[in-house]
Amino acid sequence: MEVQDFKVVNKRVNKIDSLGLACGEPLFCDDIDIKEILHAKILWSPHPHAKIKNIDISKALKIKGVKAVLTYKDLPRIPHTTAGQGYPEPSPYDSYILDNKVRYVGDKVAAVAAQTLEAAEQAIKAIKVDYQILPAVFEPLEAMKEGAPVIHDEKDSKNIPDASHNIAAKFDFEVKNNDWFSEADYTIEQIYKMPYLQHCAIEPHTSICYFDSQGRLVIRTSTQVPFHVRRIVAMALNIPVKNIRVIKPRIGGGFGSKQEVLEGVAAALAFKTKMPVKLEFTRSEVFISSRTRHPAYVRLKTGFKKDGAITDADMEVILNTGAYGSHALTVMMCSGSHTIPMYKVKNNIKFSGKSVYTNLPVAGAYRGYGATQGFFAWEVQMDLMAEKIGMDPVEFRKKNYIKLGEGSPVFKAMGEGREGVEQVITSIGLDK
């Protein structure tokens, strides 16, 4: 098929909603007027790691206009993930709407709903908390060592592969056709590090919760994953999914950050007060308490020949998932599955990945979803290999990139592409 045969490709296409956006017509989450709505605020932890010994909310409740103050004592302790992924989610069930332990500066301690934002902020300041300060760890390599503080030592959390070493997710595979680097003329081994990044969407995280005429909880929220919000909030509050309706208006940017389910607090306050509740993050709260890109440590060792052929690839990825394991497995997997197969590796391929808990802000979905971290390492490595043999880096890539019709053992090992479909066919018995 030629380019001229396509209806859209290489054609001028009008953006059908551009005029409405320019005129300010689309309604965002906060662009509705609900009478007698309550304003919610959250008390954030000032400590990276601590147990809550006691919370005194008596003074907060006496402030004029305050309708509710919630702590972990008021809510069911139900582990869940805030990752907006299909059920059963591959992420650990290690989160609670409110908990008796805080795991990073910015973790949730208590929540307030009041008639005015000023009253809610005043009530937050009136809450007195007695903390038992615990040792904290901030580097993934340190967090995995024996004797490091254990961030998730609770028995209720589920699907954590190695809580004692703060490992939220892990995956290993190896394809070995001969001795490692035995055919390589050269080897290069480098360590690449990538920092925290924040999505910085124009619209902050906003949720408005109220009850409709049928008694259903309505969650109007700036989300990318409305059906996951419905299911996960129902799980966290222990209510039937049918009793929740989620409305997803136009959102002012998401980029992955709004694939997180952060609506539980507003929903719980609506249940407590039986009144409409709005929770809107400030910009500083977005930075601290929403989600970020996973900081990454990537060790990559490659072997290659004088003619430019890549013979071996050994990739180790360690991601800092922060205090909770949101998207911990899938982002880590994509750092290998979306990058290694880009180039042909003749003999041996090895991938080892871990997502590690630390007492830092929580990482989650972010544009590129792990592939960004992996590609940074791979593309710098490609330049280094080309430089070593005196080949133009573009020509080096042309020689090695995967061609139409070619495959990679990575696809089968990590469940991508047609090999993933074949695995499904075998696993459910369709081949019989």
Residue 22 lies in a domain: no
Residue 43 lies in a domain: no
Res 5: pLDDT: 81
Residue 81 lies in a domain: no
**∠ at Cα 239 (268, 269), nearest 5°?**
10
Residue 342 lies in a domain: yes
Res 364: pLDDT: 98
Q: Encode pLDDT of 76-117 as tens digits.
A: 999 999 999 999 899 999 999 999 999 999 999 999 999 999
Cβ–Cβ contacts within 10 Å for residue 393, how many? 14
Q: How many independent structural domains does the chain possess?
A: 1
Report yes or no: 298 and 373 within 8 Å, Cβ to Cβ: yes
Give every residue of the chain whose pLDDT is below 50, as ranges.
Answer: none
Dihedral angle computed from the Cα positions of residues 58, 62, 66 and 70, in that order, rounded to the nearest 10 degrees: 10
Q: Which residue has the tokens 């910015």?
A: 106
Residue 332 lies in a domain: yes
Q: Encode pLDDT of 220-229 as tens digits.
A: 999 999 999 9
d(CA 340, CA 192): 15
Residue 97 lies in a domain: no
Res 421: pLDDT: 64
Residue 70 lies in a domain: no
The CATH number of whichever domain residue 174 belongs to comes to 3.30.365.10
Q: Which helix (H) or strand (E) holds 38?
A: strand 38-44
pTM of the model: 0.94
Which one-letter DSSP state was computed for residue 402?
Answer: P
d(CA 79, CA 56): 25
Dihedral angle computed from the Cα positions of residues 281, 285, 291 and 293, in that order, rounded to the nearest 10 degrees: 130
Residue 75 lies in a domain: no
d(CA 221, CA 232): 14
Measured between its terminal Cα atoms, the distance across the chain in Å is 37
Q: Which domain holds residue 336?
A: 143-148+159-198+292-427
CA distances from 123 to 98, 99, 305 (A): 17, 19, 67
Q: Where are the beta strands (DSSP E) in 82-156?
A: 101-102, 108-114, 128-133
CA distances from 129 to 47, 66, 71, 102, 263 (A): 11, 18, 11, 12, 24
Res 236: pLDDT: 98
Res 332: pLDDT: 98
Cβ–Cβ contacts within 10 Å for residue 125, how many? 13
Res 430: pLDDT: 77
